[in-house]
Amino acid sequence: SRTIDLAVIPGDGIGPEVVAEGLKVLTAVLPPDVKLKTTEYDLGADRWHRTGETLPDEELESLKRHDAILLGAIGHPSVPSGVLERGLLLKLRFAFDHYVNLRPSRLLTAAASPLAGSREIDFVVVREGTEGPYTGNGGSLRTGTRHEIATEVSVNTEYGVERAVRDAYERAMSRPRRKLTLVHKNNVLVHAGRLWTEVFARVAEEYPDVSTDYLHVDAATIFLVTQPERFDVIVTDNLFGDILTDLAAAVSGGIGLAASGNINPARDFPSMFEPVHGSAPDIAGTGRADPTATCLSVALLLRHLGFEDEAARVEDAVAEDLAERETAQARSTEETGDAIAARAAGSARRDAARTA
């Protein structure tokens, strides 16, 4: 028998509510001989208010020892902007070298998209996760006058760009359409843009079966809305990826459905799975948060740990649930979690019966 040793960071706002449902679904779908051991970490706004700490070294060390991390959401209006984002969320992504921020978009039911007409949306964004403008390089020259100067330096290393790009080619190879689009802004950001473009072209030679394409990020936003079906795998830098994946979420069912994995493909450190959405303090405690993005993040977690069938079951359960939801009354966080868990568990039993 096997044990999954999972670290859980419920975090702020709706984080704890959606994580509870994600864990419910995870438990429902695991094979009987696999045990789930969870360790909850008290990190986020409350902790910061109590102790002034965001992520102490001992906890970072202890997080390192788990198989994976499930995170709800980080950030609260009562904490100055950036404190928790940098001191906790980005610290984890950087410390655990989550260089692939994987963000799939699939339109599971046509009615979920605000776009007109029936659409085929099934693409995945490989957002580089450890570099770009997120490194914190830069500063401000506070002159005490109205002439302050602030810079944010986008850091792009050949090593960092290449490993993200390679991962994207590998993912493109594993998908039927085998298409990879680089998104950047190499007509303006000529230094980083050249590096990305050159690395992208060089690695392409090793993947003759992958058809490649380049789009400037502004044009990519147009196509994400007018022709989302043209995308298969997208690779892009950390900030463009952040922005594009919110847009991708909006066109493929809303931010309530968008899942992500902060992945360390080399497996030097635990990967971390979280919904793309934030802590939504405005609806925290109302039971209205949609836990679906967290459930789909659990599917990514399962796939990362080698539970492909179980991952697919969660995704199927979500798709079935969404189809039904079109006709259902508005449900609570818990009701949605229960519905997905029940479907996922039901299909687990059907699969077991089929193989028995």
Binding site for ligand IPM (CB under 6 A): 75, 85, 89-90, 242, 276
Q: Could you give the CA distance from residue 220 to residue 16 in angstroms, rounded to a whole number?
A: 34
H runs (alpha helix) in 87-216: 91-95, 158-173, 190-204
Token reading at 194: 């050249």
Q: Is 278 annotated as a binding residue?
A: yes
Q: Determine if residue 305 is left, alpha or beta; phi over 0 gives left, psi from -120 to 50 gives alpha, anything else beta.
A: alpha
Binding partner of residue 89 among ligand IPM, Mn ion, none, CB cut-off 5 to 8 Å per kind: ligand IPM
Is residue 284 part of an annotated ligand binding site?
A: yes
CA dist 271 → 6, 96, 248, 263, 279 (Å): 10, 7, 22, 5, 20
- Pair 176, 188: CB distance under 8 Å: no
- Please tell me whether 218 is known to bind a ligand: yes
Nearer to ligand IPM, 199 or 276 (CB): 276
DSSP at 44? S
Please say which residue, 48 or 307, places its beta carbon nearer to ligand IPM.
48
DSSP 8-state symbol, 110: G
The helix (run of H) or strand (run of E) holding residue 14 is none
- Find the helix packing angle between 15-29 and 292-304, rounded to 10°: 50
Q: How many CB atoms lie within 10 A of CB 32?
A: 8
In angstroms, give the least distance from the CB of 75 to ligand IPM.
6
Active-site residue numbers? 134, 185, 218, 242, 246
Pick the stretch among 60-68, 182-190, 237-245, 331-339 that binds Mn ion (CB under 5 A). 237-245
Q: How far is the CB of 86 from ligand IPM (least distance, A)?
A: 8
- Identify the DSSP state of 115: S
User: Nearest-CB residue to ligand IPM?
Assistant: 85
**Is 279 among the annotated ligand-binding positions?**
yes
**Which lies closer to ligand IPM via its Cβ, residue 60 or residue 239?**
239
Closest approach of ligand IPM to the CB of residue 222, in Å: 21
Is residue 331 a known part of a binding site?
no
User: Is 15 among the annotated ligand-binding positions?
Assistant: no
* Least separation in angstroms between CB 248 and ligand IPM: 11
Shortest spacing between CB 260 and Mn ion, in angstroms? 9
Among the residue ranges 11-19, 99-107, 156-164, 240-248, the one whose residues contact Mn ion (CB under 5 A): 240-248
Structural contact between residues 269 and 96, judged by C-beta atoms closer than 8 angstroms: yes
The Cα 11–Cα 79 span in angstroms is: 13
290 annotated as ligand-binding:
yes
CB of 280 to ligand IPM, least distance (A): 12
Query: Which of 59, 242, 290, 320 touches Mn ion by CB under 5 A?
Result: 242
> Would you say 21 or 242 has its CB closer to Mn ion?
242
∠ CA(329), CA(332), CA(336), 5° rounding? 85
First and final C-alpha spacing in the chain: 19
What does the alpha-carbon distance between residue 290 and residue 295 come to, in Å, rounded to a whole number?
10
Q: Which is nearer to ligand IPM, 46 or 85 (CB)?
A: 85
Least Cα distance to 244 among 108, 82, 126 occurs for: 126
**Closest residue by beta carbon to Mn ion:** 242
Both structure tokens of 73: 């959401």
Only segment of 126-134, 236-244, 251-259, 296-304 that touches Mn ion (CB under 5 A): 236-244
Known binding positions for substrate: 93, 103, 127, 218
Binding site for Mn ion (CB under 5 A): 242
Known binding positions: 93, 103, 127, 218, 242, 246, 278-290
Known binding positions for Mg(2+): 218, 242, 246
Known binding positions for NAD(+): 278-290
